[in-house]
Amino acid sequence: MSKYAVLVGMALVFTAAAGKVLIKGVRQYKMNKAAGTPFDSSKIQMYMGAFNSPMTRREAALILGVREGSSEEVIIQAHKRLMLLNHPDYGGSTYVAMKINEAKDLLILK
């Protein structure tokens, strides 16, 4: 009898772990679909430097991963993609989200 209880317990643990992985995958798929771009972590280039006190246009472009002279549409798409990955409501940092918004505002207000 106890052998079956152990098997049932292991099956429940496996099912819960598989469900968790499935839920994370569905959430990632929905975020990528909303952004309109496929997610490929090997192509992501991150800005690893410290933030300057008054943000420069160059730093803003590096944060968003665009060129300084990019069109408003490209800047907005990059902003949306980054905010989907870094939004505070989904576990991202409030400070990083603030810097992403600041970068977008700086580049759009040329």
Q: Where are the domains of the chain?
A: 1-37, 45-110
Rounded to an integer, what distance in angstroms lies between the CA atom of residue 13 and that of residue 19?
Answer: 10
Interval 19-39: pLDDT, tens = 888 788 878 777 766 666 555
Residue 73's φ and ψ, nearest 5 degrees, are: -65, -45
Token reading at 32:
């990528």
- Model confidence at 79, in pLDDT bands (50, 70, 90)? very high
pLDDT at 50 over 80: no
- Model confidence at 18, in pLDDT bands (50, 70, 90)? confident
Cut 0.85: pTM above it: no
Helices (H), 1-110: 2-35, 57-64, 72-86, 94-108
Rounded to an integer, what distance in angstroms lies between the CA atom of residue 2 and that of residue 40?
Answer: 46
Look at the domain 45-110 and name its fold. Helix Hairpins (1.10.287)
Token reading at 16:
């819960």
By the 8 A CB rule, do 65 and 43 touch?
no
